[in-house]
């Protein structure tokens, strides 16, 4: 009878329970792995994010600026978005000037109002090509360092210390890699 009353205590198996500290450690490990992938494989990180990276050249026009400004604007100068302070490309090639025209209302011989295209002397439109590495995402378009690049959009730009002013994007070209 003594044999029946003597029960051996059960051996307990080690049970691992997930607690909050384990979750934090797993999240930190995943975060650091993501950072490493983004650092060592930037194109892979862009593909995982659903964004594609391209080299683009976009043309901006500064309207109605004083003649002679382009002497200080040379190839490879950095272009900075004044609103965000981020570099959004570098000047490619030489800038070009075009006449600055405005429409004024005049009257013809019969006294009817007409629009006249009048050129202002001493003022020009300055056209500058800018090359940058941009990401493209569906519905957003091209983005360079957080600045969306789009035709018709106006930007406050600073080209190194040579020049700053407001410009409108008139053309975007995707360069072949």
Q: Are residues 41 and 68 in the same domain?
A: no
Q: Are residues 135 and 162 in the same domain?
A: yes
Please report whether residue 23 resides in a domain.
yes
Q: Are residues 62 and 40 in the same domain?
A: no
pLDDT computed for residue 76 by the predictor: 81
Domain of 26 in residue numbering reads as 17-49
Rounded average pLDDT over 30-52: 72
Q: Are residues 27 and 93 in the same domain?
A: no
Q: Are residues 81 and 141 in the same domain?
A: yes
Is residue 169 within 8 A of residue 152, CB to CB? The reply is: yes
Tens of pLDDT, residue by residue over 116-157, are 877 777 788 888 999 999 998 888 889 999 899 999 999 999
Is a pLDDT exceeding 60 seen at residue 69?
yes
Dihedral class, residue 114 (left if φ above 0, else alpha if ψ from -120 to 50, else beta) = beta
Assign 3-class secondary structure to the chain: CHHHHCCCCCCCCCCCCCCHHHHHHHHHHHHHHHHHHHHHCHHHHHHHCCCEEEEEEEEEEEEEEECCHHHHCCCCCEEEECCCCCEEEEEEEEEEEEEEEEEEEEECCCCCEEEEEEEEEEEEEEEEEEEEEEEEECCCEEEECCEEECCCCEEEEEECCCEEEEEEEEEEEECCC
What's the whole-model pTM score? Answer: 0.62
Number of domains in the chain: 2
Please report whether residue 40 resides in a domain.
yes
Tens of pLDDT, residue by residue over 81-120, are 999 889 999 998 878 777 777 778 888 888 888 888 777 7
Instruction: Name 156's bridge partners.
Output: 166
Which one of 9, 33, 49 terminates a domain? 49
Q: Are residues 115 and 45 in the same domain?
A: no
Q: Are residues 35 and 113 in the same domain?
A: no
Please report whether residue 32 resides in a domain.
yes
Q: Are residues 40 and 66 in the same domain?
A: no
Instruction: Name 116's bridge partners.
Output: 104
- The Cα–Cα gap between 54 and 63 comes to 28
Tokens representing 27 are 């999240």
Please report whether residue 107 resides in a domain.
yes
Q: How many CB atoms lie within 10 A of CB 87?
A: 15
Top mean-pLDDT range of 33-42, 86-95, 98-107, 166-175: 166-175
Please report whether residue 88 resides in a domain.
yes
Q: Are residues 62 and 25 in the same domain?
A: no
Q: Are residues 87 and 64 in the same domain?
A: yes
Please report whether residue 6 resides in a domain.
no
Q: Are residues 42 and 128 in the same domain?
A: no
Q: Are residues 28 and 90 in the same domain?
A: no
- The Cα–Cα gap between 122 and 153 comes to 26
């Amino acid at each position: 009878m003594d044999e029946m009353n003597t029960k051996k205590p059960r051996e307990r198996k080690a049970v691992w329970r997930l607690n909050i500290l384990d979750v934090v450690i797993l999240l930190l490990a995943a975060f650091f792995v993501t950072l490493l992938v983004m650092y060592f494989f930037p194109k892979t990180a862009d593909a995982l994010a659903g964004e594609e990276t391209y080299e683009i050249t976009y043309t901006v026009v500064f309207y109605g600026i004083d003649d002679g400004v382009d002497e200080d604007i040379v190839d490879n100068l950095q272009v900075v978005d004044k609103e965000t302070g981020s570099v959004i490309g570098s000047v490619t090639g030489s800038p070009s000037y075009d006449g600055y025209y405005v429409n004024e209302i005049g009257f013809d011989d019969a006294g009817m109002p007409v629009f006249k295209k009048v050129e202002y002397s001493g003022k020009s439109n300055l056209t500058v090509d800018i090359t940058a590495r941009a990401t493209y995402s569906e519905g957003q378009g091209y983005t360079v360092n957080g600045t969306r690049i789009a035709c018709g959009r106006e930007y406050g730009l600073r080209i190194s210390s040579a020049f700053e002013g407001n410009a409108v994007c008139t053309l975007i070209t995707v360069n072949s890699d």
